[in-house]
Amino acid sequence: MADEIINRLDGCTSPYLIQHASNPVSWQPWDEEAIKLAKKLGRPLLVSIGYAACHWCHVMEHESFNDEQTAKQMNESLVCIKVDREELPDVDALYMAACQIYSGGGGWPLNVFVDPDTLKPFFAGTYFPPVQRYNKPSWGQLIESVVQAWQDQREQIINSSELITEQIQKLSIGKESSQDVESLVKESILAGLGHTKRVYDPVNGGIGGAPKFPHPMEMEGLLRAGERDIVSHSLDVMATRGLFDHLAGGWHRYCVDAEWAVPHFEKMLYDNALMLAVHEKARRLGIGSQNDRAVGLTLEWICNEMLDPSGGVWSTLDADSVGEDGKSEEGEFYLWTPEQAEDTVACERFGITEKGNFENSGRSVLSLHEVSGLDDEDLRIHLLEKRSKRARPGTDDKVLTAWNGMLLVACADLPEDDAKIIGQHICKEFLSRKDVLRTRRGEALGGPGFLDDYAWAALGLLRWGIRWDDKECLHRSHEITSQLLKIFADPDGGFWMTSADHTELPVRQRSVSDSAVPGATAVVVELLRTLLLLWPDHSQADEWRETAEKAVISVGGDLVARAGGHWALICAAQGLVEPGQVWFIHHSGSEPAEVENLRRTSAWNQLVVSTCESMSGKDRGEAEWRGWLCEGMTCRLATMDASALTWS
């Protein structure tokens, strides 16, 4: 029977799935055919989840999934499904929740054993070695135990899966609050600050210890609360040590140590979008010494390496690449010896030493060090040109809607020319199709978008349309917003992650708390509060406010109790209760030069609408331009005095 099952990943769009198309394991994509096959054969499903840039996913593939004997064991006793977590975040979220309940932790690769009749998980874990070590059974031992239990203890397995699913259901609901939004915001900000300041690292900057992530949502909350020293210190350290690629630009995913010396080398588009945004906010406040360099290099990297020819931006760069010995290893592309650098000043500037700092290998992860009187750009180009001759890490070249929207939001605030190039490229992708998709790769279109795809696309197009007076972007943003509210809003409050077009899973998930990215609920609330700021008298304004406030209240208890994990929603909710300001400028086709200074000095709840079309009764008449500073539905008298274009 095993011979009749073939590996079906060859026709998939995901680079991660295609990586596994040549495995001897008879991998199936997540679809009805695979589920029906498991039911027919009476076997459990193995749902193995990862992503293209995941180092430990590659390790497990090499050790186990490429091993003929292991593959035979898997093929004869399981129906094996491979999932790209970036394509199917609902499947990933459900089974990751199960893993956290089973093991107290999570991560990728995520390996879950599932009852095909109910799609409920009965065991979950992450990486398993090919032989028993790390206090873990071998992968083969685990499969043998699971299959034996499936055959001999089916009733207990079904009961266990029911209990786990009930726990996931309870966790997904959230803790409603009886408080109003204003009270919730005040309490949650205080709680979040208390938590974040307790785990702040005053020596090395950043939040918590190893492994250490950049936490851009917390940085945003700290900035709003006036904790500028913490943010300035943290951003500067992250931009000068191993987390940042000092040659080409861009942040790696996280560091394995508390000192930010050695990263986990994959580059994710979402990390870079969020870090660009928080550096720009710091730059506007005049804090931090690395903003211009970090922002400029990262935009340059995206322009040079990540733009899809048809529109949009690709997703990730792999952690692994092929070294001089022909083996694929993590970090090969980024590590240096003094002999490879061939420049003593470059070694001094970028921390390249004989001892090195990477796994006792005599190789160094680059970091910045002060050297007087040097031409930094020449040194960077010298090493960058040398590095360009190495084998490159793999690129996950799918265009993921949510992450592109995230980057579009950041680019709308950035003054650099590269930001405009990137933003226009993303808009080309978003405006080229009628439906909101999850992904596109080449000519192959992915499935329907999830809540985060709709939310980030609508917010990105809104912010870009306002910044560049692009009516097509604004119109499309409003369309997507209306679709989002119709498809995803729960009448009882909050939003579902999935639509009716997605696979029906045992638990319909929400996306509320922050992970490496903001929870999608926070993005929707931010979208709605921005619409209210711009158009407080819109016919849908009451619906926008009611929907946003109900979403906040529906999880209000969690905002206060677990504020450190909800910073994005706290910040979005803050916009519902703290009055913002908008400068409306109607001009004849050329805005006053002072308008750009308004943009560069605007705070988080201040926006500039500069347009050659009149709006809401605001008309320049015969003047070259006229401006109105508005707060809610109250506007000051119009001005034609350029010196009056300031924030009060």
Tell me how far apart the alpha carbons of residues 329 and 421 are, in angstroms, rounded to a whole number. Answer: 34
H/E stretch holding 587 reads strand 581-587
pLDDT for position 144: 96
Alpha-carbon Rg for the chain, nearest whole angstrom, is 26
202 CB-contact burial (10 Å; exposed 0-12 / middle 13-18 / buried 19+): exposed
Other residues' Cβ atoms within 10 Å of the Cβ of residue 370: 8
**Closest to 413 (Cα-Cα) out of 299, 307, 316:** 299
Q: Under CATH, which number does the domain 2-173 receive?
A: 3.40.30.10
Provide the residue type at 6 as one letter: I
Q: What is the pTM of this model?
A: 0.95
77-96 in b/e burial notation, b at 16+ Cβ within 10 A? bbbbbbbbbbbbbbbbbbbb
Higher pLDDT, 530 or 617: 530
Which SS3 state, helix, strand or coil, does residue 628 take?
Answer: strand
Tell me how far apart the alpha carbons of residues 278 and 276 are, in angstroms, rounded to a whole number. Answer: 6
User: Average model confidence (pLDDT) for the chain?
Assistant: 95
DSSP characters for 598-610? HHHT--TTEEEEE
pLDDT, tens only, 552-591: 999 999 999 999 999 999 999 999 999 899 999 999 999 9
Q: Is the Cβ–Cβ distance between 413 and 463 less than 8 Å?
A: yes
pLDDT for position 222: 97
Tell me how far apart the alpha carbons of residues 374 and 594 are, in angstroms, rounded to a whole number. Answer: 36
Q: Pairing relation of β-strands 314-317 and 625-631?
A: unpaired
pLDDT, tens only, 393-421: 999 999 999 999 999 999 999 999 999 99
Structure confidence at residue 266 as a pLDDT band (50, 70, 90): very high
Answer whether residue 2 shows pLDDT above 50: no
Q: Under CATH, which number does the domain 180-203+448-578 receive?
A: 1.50.10.10
pLDDT for position 373: 66
| In the chain, where the domains are located | 2-173, 180-203+448-578, 334-389, 581-644
Tell me how far apart the alpha carbons of residues 14 and 7 are, in angstroms, rounded to a whole number. Answer: 15
Token reading at 532: 């209210």
Q: Is the Cβ–Cβ distance between 204 and 259 less than 8 Å?
A: yes
